[in-house]
Amino acid sequence: MVTGLLAGYNATVLAYGQTGSGKTHTMGTAHQPGGATEGVIPRVIAALFAGIAGLPDGDSISLRVAFIEIHREEIRDLLVGGESHVTIRDAPGHAGGVVLVGVKELEVRTVAQMAAALADGSLARATAATGMNHRSSRSHAIFTIHVERRGADSADVTRAKMHLVDLAGSERAKRTKAEGQRLKEGIQINKGLLALGNVISALGDDKRRHAGGHVPYRDSKLTRLLQDSLGGNSRTVMVACISPADANLDETLSTLKYANRARNITNKPTLNLSANASEEVAKLRRALAASRAEVEHLRASGGTASPT
């Protein structure tokens, strides 16, 4: 997926599962670098810079990162200290159909800088103790890497993004023993996950998909932000985190059913060329088509090609 990102293809990795099942550990948003237990995001960062080092001479790369959380249906920028006001705006001509207004995109040049952004943002996440997890994530977190690559030919520019998503855990109030504020948070978490499940169900249903049925992306901010990742222009992997404990059987089965529905989704990843590059490619294709048409005409008439 990292190789594809450098080539201009969007990518997404998201972890889903009940609270306490290891999603944050798996994704690495707690960022404990080094060793065999390092999570997905630190490994992606290392692989990305290794891939950049192997690019042809003359290629230039620009990297930016953003880190947000969705907490009680409000979007918060984790790379900005204090309160932040981030909103979603529809942008039909933009990749994914939406843009985030007010989010900070930090330019980075080294592994250390990108890892520091991950670590700083992770410390700012909303967490709290529940009956099932002493440090439960109370928000959905999305760490996004934006890659712009320009080849030696300046017309060849690709722009792609990779979402790395640590979803809040699905919860049952009876088991988490949540009360007051924690209970309200749990309701909002489950609401967002339900909306995500409804989108997955709609996209995974062959009959509904072929009939052009409605996909309820707009039911939550999470599903709006992940619209490209689910059924859109992205290569997407979903990691289902489960518990081996007998006491968690119901939640484990629910997670596996959720993941099984996700397997039926068909995405349509495409190469993300910049507008200038797309125009240049279109111009070359038109010229090639004209040349082929001339060749066919000359073959038919027995003539010779005109000088160009």
Q: Does residue 39 have a known ligand-binding role? A: no
Domain assignment of residue 175, given as a range: 2-273
- Specify whether 238 is located in the same domain as 97: yes
Q: Does residue 23 have a known ligand-binding role? A: yes
Residue type, 124: A
- Specify whether 79 is located in the same domain as 181: yes
Q: In CATH, what number is assigned to the domain containing residue 209?
A: 3.40.850.10
Report the distance separating Cα 121 and Cα 141, nearest Å: 9
Those residues of the chain that have pLDDT short of 70 are: 30-34, 93-96, 127-137, 154, 171-180, 182, 208-210, 275-283, 303-308
Q: Does residue 136 have a known ligand-binding role? A: no
pTM: 0.83
Looking at residue 284, its pLDDT comes to: 72
Looking at residue 174, its pLDDT comes to: 56
| SS3 letters across 154-197 | CCCEEEEEEEEEECCCECCHHHHCCCHHHHHHHHHHHHHHHHHH
**Which residues make Cβ contacts (< 8 Å) with residue 121, sequence separation at least 6?**
67, 78, 79, 141, 143
Looking at residue 133, its pLDDT comes to: 46
- Specify whether 265 is located in the same domain as 150: yes
- Specify whether 222 is located in the same domain as 290: no
- Specify whether 264 is located in the same domain as 279: no
Looking at residue 221, its pLDDT comes to: 93
Looking at residue 162, its pLDDT comes to: 98
Q: Does residue 130 have a known ligand-binding role? A: no
- Specify whether 43 is located in the same domain as 162: yes
Q: How many domains does the chain have?
A: 2
Looking at residue 302, its pLDDT comes to: 73
Per residue in 227-260, pLDDT (tens digit) is: 999 999 999 999 999 999 999 999 999 999 999 9
Report the distance separating Cα 19 and Cα 186, nearest Å: 10
Q: Does residue 19 have a known ligand-binding role? A: yes
Q: Does residue 301 have a known ligand-binding role? A: no
- Specify whether 196 is located in the same domain as 268: yes
Distance set, CA 274 to CA 80, 126, 236 (Å): 29, 36, 22
21-45 exposure pattern, b = at least 16 Cβ within 10 A, e = fewer: bbbbbbbbbbbeeeeeeebbbbebb
